[in-house]
Amino acid sequence: MATFFGEVVVAPSRAGVDDESAEEACEETPEDREIRRELEKKREVDVLWTLKSGAPAGSCAGEPFACSKFIVAIGRNAAAFLSSFILDSVCWEVVGVVKLWNEWCRTSNTTNVLPTDSFCLFYRLISDPTVLLCQCSCYVAEDQQFQWLEKVFGCMQKEGLQVTILSTCPVADYKTQESTLTLTSPFLKALKTKEFKEQVCCPLLEQPNIVRDLPAA
C-alpha cells in the first residue's frame, strides 16, 4: 500500500490478537455483557425451511431430511453460475432461506430476490427431492460461519451425502512461481476429501494455496 511521505501507517500484526481487547474483557460490566449479548442475538443465523408445501416456514425440527447430493455455491460469481446454467423454475423449487445480518450485508426471509440482492436460498430438484442446491451470494462473517454450517447441515442426513462446493477467488491471491499476469484465467482448481472417490474434473489446488471463510468451513 503506497503512502505519502510523512504518513505513519500502523502495520497490523500477523498475530491477529489485540492485547488491549484481551485486558478489557476482564473488566466487562453487566451493561457491556448485555450489549454483547444483544449483538450476538442480532448476528444469529436463522435457517428457515419450507420443505413441505403448505407447511409454515420453520427451522429444522424433528428428523433430518434425506439428502444424497448437496451443491453449495458461495459468492456472487458461483451463485450467478447456478442461476445461468442450472436453476430454472420448472425443475427446481425453493425449499429454504437463510436470514442473517452483519456489517457487510443483510438478507431477508423473502424468496423473491433480485440477482443484485444479497441472499442465501435453498432449492430442491423436483424430480429427485434428495438433491439440494444452495445459492449463497451474501457474505457470511467469520463469527457466523460455524453457526451457518451447524444449522444447515444439522438438518440433513449425512449418511451417503456428497457435498460439492463452488466458489471463486481472485487470481491475484493465487500463489505460484510465475507471475499471475502470465496465467490464463479463469482456471479451475479443486480440493477433495479422501472419501471422494470419483474423478475430479480439474487439477488439485497446490501448496501453499489455501481456501478460507465459508467454503473452508
Partner 1 sequence: MFVPCNRGGGSASPDFKGFTLLMPAVSVGNVGQLAIDLVISTLDMTKVGYFYTDCLVPMVGNNPYATGEENSVELSINAEVYSLPSKKLVVLQIRSPFIKNKYRPFCQALLSWVKSSKCARVVVLSSSHAYQRDDEQLLGTPLRYLLTPDLEKAVGGLMQELNWKEMEKVAAYPGINDTEKILHIPGGGITKLLFTESCSKGIQMAVLLKFCSEGDNIPDAFALVNYLNEWLQLIKSDVSSNDSTDTSSQWKIPSSWRLLFGNGLPPALF
Q: Which residues contribute to the site for partner 1 (CB under 8 A)?
A: 11, 13-17, 19, 21-22, 25, 36, 142-143, 145-147, 174-182, 191-194, 204-217
Cβ proximity to partner 1, 110 vs 209, nearer residue: 209
Cβ proximity to partner 1, 84 vs 207, nearer residue: 207
Secondary structure class of 182 (helix, strand, coil): helix
Instruction: Give least dist CB 174 to partner 1, A.
Output: 8
Cβ proximity to partner 1, 141 vs 155, nearer residue: 141
The cell 447441515 sits on which residue? Answer: 153
Instruction: Give least dist CB 125 to partner 1, A.
Output: 27
Cβ proximity to partner 1, 12 vs 56, nearer residue: 12
Instruction: Give least dist CB 56 to partner 1, A.
Output: 30
CA 104 – CA 98 distance, rounded (Å)? 15
Distance of CA 188 to the CA centre of its chain: 19
Instruction: Give least dist CB 121 to partner 1, A.
Output: 22
Greatest alpha-carbon pair distance for the chain in Å reads: 66
Cβ proximity to partner 1, 57 vs 210, nearer residue: 210
The 8 Å CB, 24+ separation contacts for 103-111 are 103/141, 104/138, 104/139, 104/141, 105/138, 105/139, 107/138, 109/46, 109/48, 109/57, 111/50
CA 148 – CA 119 distance, rounded (Å)? 13
Distance of CA 128 to the CA centre of its chain: 24
Write out the three cell numbers for 33.
Answer: 455483557
Instruction: Give least dist CB 33 to partner 1, A.
Output: 11
